[in-house]
Structure 1
Amino acid sequence: MTPKRDAIFSEPLTAVADFVFDANVVEVFPDMINRSVPGYPSILHGIGQLTKRYAQPQSRLYDLGCSLGAATLAMRNVVATVNDIEIIGVDNSPAMVKRCQLHVQGYKSQVPVTIRCEDVQTTELSNASVIVMNFTLQFVPPEQRDALIQRIYSALKPGGILLLAEKFHSSDTAMDATLIDLHHEFKRANGYSELEISQKRAAIENVMRIDTLERHHERLQQAGFAHHQVWFQCYNFAAMLAVKAGTEQ
């Protein structure tokens, strides 16, 4: 089925409210993220590849900030032969969770999946071999991010991984401006108007505060990850792999 086209910001608004993942966003989210995030299909494919490589028997896989379950399904599609494994998706948007549950139920699999309507900062995490945060950490208050990454590290089994994808900004102001321009060109090429780009940016700037890549690596290092590397980047969007010391692949 063709996803409903995102036109949330297509008409002039007298006041642009902060962006929320409500029922209106749920209806257009697949179109929104594919037209807004460069390389998103490649990131999902990579999540599947890395999950297949690092998922351990008798463990849990988490998708923190699961939205409609794209990463959850990418993981489930590759772990059918891994013994005694469970996937848990977590999101704090009731509208997202309700639709995600329908998506998960629509694809038959013997791999058990549970979708929780909870805050990723307080949801229970344990016995994990793969934890995904796909454009989620950027919505957590900056002063609370270190503690969340530390809690994720503690929940991972030896040899477990965190797959972290984020929009970022560059500490080099000239390069940052170039990356922003390239991203806006990407959105224009996908049919977004200048009005939509401007209003979406105004709506999201107070709720999505992004870090530099250097800050992400510093945070992963401080948490204790033995290895961390950007494995995909397109403009000012990057996906990172962080590995906990242990039985590495």
Structure 2
Amino acid sequence: MGFRDKFREKRTIASKWLLCILMSFPIFMIGIKYFGITIDKEWSLAIIASIISATLIEILDNTSNEKKSKLYAEQQDMYNDLISLCKKHHYKEATFIQYSGRKAVELITQLHKNETKIRLFVKHPETAVGVEQTRRIEGVLDNMSTEVGGTHGAPIEVTAYRTEASLRGLMLDDKVVALGWYVFKKKDKLSPKFTHDDVNIWGHNMPGILLYKGNSNFEEAANFFRKMKKHYEKHGERLSSSSD
């Protein structure tokens, strides 16, 4: 941590304590004026007021931190945070744009438990890069209709696209946007199971960014995601729904 970062951290701590003192003063004065607090009890009241103020500041601070945009070194960490978020907040609709969707199944499962209506766009298995990716997509589709979708909860609608894939992202209720990218790399060594598959697709271990409504550049990111969604709606092929 550099000098500037340390200075900012110290300044933030000092600001919190100053706010705590300022918030404690009105509580202190109300106690004296309306509850007849005597001099010998004033210090007790001051301590209680400080504790209440500090607790309120901590709650507000945690809430604001949850709503800050964040850049992740790996998208899987971002998806883990989204799972935690969806355990606290319920969303009506969720849209996913994925390649196979295999690494998003846990988040989709959590949303399905919350009765969230889910729209999943995946690469069409007939146009996937290699046998391994084809099997992954087919496995996810089977999973959506059996284990995840089942017979309860909001429907999960799956649409497959045939165009080349680059975006890995999701949107929750037009309030949360997560964006990441797929990287295609030549394999250094072929798998003995998939001897003709010479390309690796990396997504979950690539960088990603999480934005909340109200964050700077949220609307630009959300509009980009909506455009891609419309493109896949127009050119995609609906494969299944858990309610079918």
Return the TM-score normalized by structure 2: 0.37
Larger helix percent:
2
Rg larger for? 2
